[in-house]
Each structure stands twice: as structure tokens, then as C-alpha cells.
Amino acid sequence: MPDVMSETVEKRIDKLEKQLKQLQNQRKDQLSMVIFSNNMDKILAALVIAVGAAAMDTEVKMFFTFWAVSALRDKKKKTKGKDVKSRMLGAMLPHGIGQLKLSKMNMGGLGKDMIKGIMKQKNITSPEEMLATAGELGVQIDICEMSMDLMGFKKEEMIDYPDLGYCGVATFLADAGESSIQLFIS
């Protein structure tokens, strides 16, 4: 019975094609990163990886959470109507990417100035420029809503960035689950 057999073959191939499609979607050419730290060196590393991947046409999604959210504040933007604790916390945390400290050898800013000086001298892109490049290359930045709430940050004090969004952990997990690379920068 060649007909029956062919039919079975067709059905098995149909199923294979469908499952293969699912597998391909589960592992997109996509990089998902959680950025947890607000240290200058770690944010720089994350941005170097993000920009490198975007330059290779990989889809890049950065999920900024906890301390890292303070790196995305715009120091020129002011907010009103915060409660006391949020104002205190806001004052203690860095106002944007230009005010971050090193995770090691910061030495009251001396170590950071030294590293920044060396980067300038050697024509290594600064974190500020790297962030702008990331935006130009289409790197998507999502800010953790729970962290915004916890830190008492408001959307109007965040930087202008081409592809800036706000989401929860479920969105990060859905993205990461189909990414070929996932990293947690703590």
C-alpha cells in the first residue's frame, strides 16, 4: 500500500518541520543580559558585549534591574512629589552613567579617574559614548518595574534612549528563554 505509506511519511515530515520550527524559535540569534550592578567597569563590560553583538546583527536585549537602574537616570532631569525615603535613596545613588564608581580600586574616585584617563588616552570608547552607540545600533533596554518602584524612581527622570521600555521579570524570562546567549552581570 504505497499510498498509506506515503501519507505516513508526509505526516511525520509535517511534524518534524513543525518541531524544528519551534526549536529554531527557542534559540534565536539573540543576546539577553541582566544588568544588576551600577559599577562603571561592569556596565562598561556589558555595553562592550551588547555593542559587539549588535554590530554582528544579533538582537540585543538588556534588562536593567536593582542598582543598575540608577545608571540610566538623567542628571539634568528633575522630579517632584517623591516621598522622603525615595528622595534619600535617590540622592545616595549615582545620577546616571557619568557618576558610576569602579567595583574595585575606586579609591574615592581616584582609581576611576585613572581608568577613565587611560581609556581616553588609548581611544577606548567611554561608557557614555558606548551607551549612545548601543542606542544607534538598536540595542533594546528594558528597566525592571519592581526596581523602579523599590528605588522610588520615576520614568520622567530616566535618560532619553531610542528603545527604552519598562517590564517585569516575566518578560525578561520569555526573552531569555529564546535567546542563544544569556548573561547576568552582577
- Is residue 164 part of the contact set for a second copy (CB under 8 A)? no
CB 138 within 8 A of CB 57: no
Closest CA to 137 of 56, 58, 64, 55: 55
> Which residues within the stretch 82-101 sit at the binding site for a second copy (CB under 8 A)?
85-86, 88-89, 92-93
* 43 vs 58: CA distance, rounded Å: 19
Q: How far is the CB of 69 from a second copy (least distance, A)?
A: 12
Q: How many residues bind a second copy (CB under 8 A)?
A: 71
Near a second copy by CB under 8 A: residue from 106, 152, 164, 166: 152
CB 139 within 8 A of CB 54: yes
Closest CA to 142 of 90, 65, 74: 65
- Is residue 167 part of the contact set for a second copy (CB under 8 A)? no
78 versus 92: smaller Cβ distance to a second copy: 92
Near a second copy by CB under 8 A: residue from 1, 4, 5, 91: 5
Q: What 8-state DSSP symbol labels residue 4?
A: H
Near a second copy by CB under 8 A: residue from 77, 95, 99, 119: 119
Q: How far is the CB of 160 from a second copy (least distance, A)?
A: 26
Near a second copy by CB under 8 A: residue from 82, 106, 124, 145: 124
55 versus 75: smaller Cβ distance to a second copy: 55
3-state secondary structure of 38: coil
Closest CA to 64 of 181, 133, 150: 150
CB 71 within 8 A of CB 100: yes
- Is residue 149 part of the contact set for a second copy (CB under 8 A)? yes
* 69 vs 164: CA distance, rounded Å: 12
- Is residue 148 part of the contact set for a second copy (CB under 8 A)? no
- Is residue 153 part of the contact set for a second copy (CB under 8 A)? no
> Which residues within the stretch 53-72 sit at the binding site for a second copy (CB under 8 A)?
53, 55-56, 58, 65-67
Residue 153 C-alpha cell reads as 524612581
